Amino acid sequence: MARNKIKRVSTILFLVFFLTGCKDAVNEVFNQGQYTDSDFLANYYSYYPEELRKNVYSTNETIIDIDVSDKTYSFLGGEAKEKALIPDYQEGLISKKELKEKFGIDLDENTVEEVLNNQLQRVSWYDYSKYYNLSDSNYGDSKINDSFKRGYFSKMTDGLINCFGFGAIARIQTDENGFGVLFKHELVEYTSFFVSLRGATNIDEGPTYNSDLEFRVSFYIEESASMQPSKVTFKMDLNEIYTDGSGNSNVIYFRLKDVLTQQQLPLLKRTTGFSFSFTLKEHVLLCPGGVVNTDTDYKFALMLYELMLPHSKWR
């Protein structure tokens, strides 16, 4: 009898210590105030998961140059209607009901042409991101949503696409080497790409200048029975992006089938990780004429607000 009790108690204790070993929610903890410091230089985030540093990805990399000169918008720009919502509706990704309830677009009363021509009816990217960010878009599976909500990277999946007074809380500040993230789920369906960002410096007086940079987003595909590990990198030249104007951010949005070939389209399937990096190409004070100004201690950073893959499916 006593032996049974001891067994039971030790089983319970074992379970407690076994459970204690997982600590899922505290895998990634930070000191209070870390990355939200008043000192600009203390806020650079540069974490890369070890997995993403493996050479095997770099040796099997596909680099795709994407011209985004006509795909870059202001976060409050009203293009979301014509660039995203109506094409999404025409592809059956969103319903008439959804259009009406979320954006006030009534396709029972108006034709698609009338809606597109109605200049008074604008849908900003800010409105769009409220509904199609990664945290909220997989309505059917709360586990997938929750995985986008956990961790530092959740700053880029929460639908906040500009500062809006939140300051450092809203964004990820990174240097040219960038950072990476690995997910527990893999991307299986995708239609479009959305990123919101701006530039920033620690120059605290004088006029502000926009900047040009080469921005790179890499998608990591893990090894599987049928596939080698690989990496697909989108390389984009961003010109005249908002810099040091904390209220503004640039949105880059494109439909993948518009920029990728039929052969390239399936390459992103089974993506489980991302990384972001950039090269500053032009800034009046820090990189005049494309040459790094070594006479100044001022630093440049990229402020990333949001990554969205609207209507994507993960498993």
Partner 1 sequence: MSKMDATGKKPVIDKEKYEANIKLVILFVSLELLAFVAMNLGNYMIIFNIISILLVLASLPILIKILKVEQNFELLIYAIPLLFYFLLILLGPTYKVAPENLGQHPDYIFMGRSIFKLLESIGGLISFFLLAYIIRRTDGFKHKYVPYMILGGFALLVSVSLIATLYNYGAFYRLIYQNMLNYYAGKPYLVAKQSSYLLGFNIATVDSKALVNIALFLASSLVTLLFIKEKNNRKQILILSGLGLIGILTIALLPDFTALVFLIPSFAFALLYKYDQLKTKWFKITALSILGLVGLSIIVGLFCAFGNQTVINLLSSNGFTRKIFLNSKVLVYYQVIRDSFVKGAFFGVPFTYPVNEFPLSTGITVKDAFPTGNFLMDALREVGWIGFLSLLIFVVFSVKVVINYLDKSEDPKHIKTLFVSLLIMIFVRYFFFYPHALYSFTSEFWSINYFPLIESHVFTIVIFLLGYMYLPNSIFKQNKLPLKEENKHNDKKEEVYEWQEIK
Chain contacts with partner 1 (rule: CB under 8 A):
16, 19-26, 28-32, 36, 135, 142, 149-158, 160, 169-170
Pick 147 or 243: Cβ nearer partner 1: 147
CB of 51 to partner 1, least distance (A): 20
Minimum Å gap between C-beta 303 and partner 1 is 14
> Least distance from C-beta 154 to partner 1, angstroms?
5
Residue 232 to residue 65: CA distance in whole angstroms: 11
C-alpha 195/C-alpha 250 separation (Å) is 8
Nearer to partner 1, 141 or 189 (CB): 141
In whole angstroms, the minimum distance from the beta carbon of 84 to partner 1 comes to 22
Q: Given the complex with partner 1, which of 171 and 270 has the nearer CB atom?
A: 171
**Which CB atom, from 161 or from 286, has the smaller least distance to partner 1?**
161
224 CB-near residues (< 8 Å, 6+ apart) = 270
51 is written with which tokens?
Answer: 């997995």
CA-CA distance, 91 to 158, in Å (whole number)?
A: 25
Query: Whole-number minimum distance, CB 34 to partner 1, in Å?
Result: 8
Question: What 8-state DSSP symbol labels residue 80?
Answer: I
Q: Which CB sits closer to partner 1, 28 or 101?
A: 28
For tokens 């893999």, the residue is 186
| 217 neighbors 195 (Cβ within 8 angstroms) | yes
Pick 31 or 294: Cβ nearer partner 1: 31
Nearest to 153 by CA among 176, 128, 174, 125: 174
The residues facing 218 across adjacent strands are 233, 275
In the complex, minimum distance from the CB of residue 170 to partner 1, in angstroms, rounded to a whole number: 7
> Tokens at residue 303, please?
């402020």
Amino acid letter for position 102: K
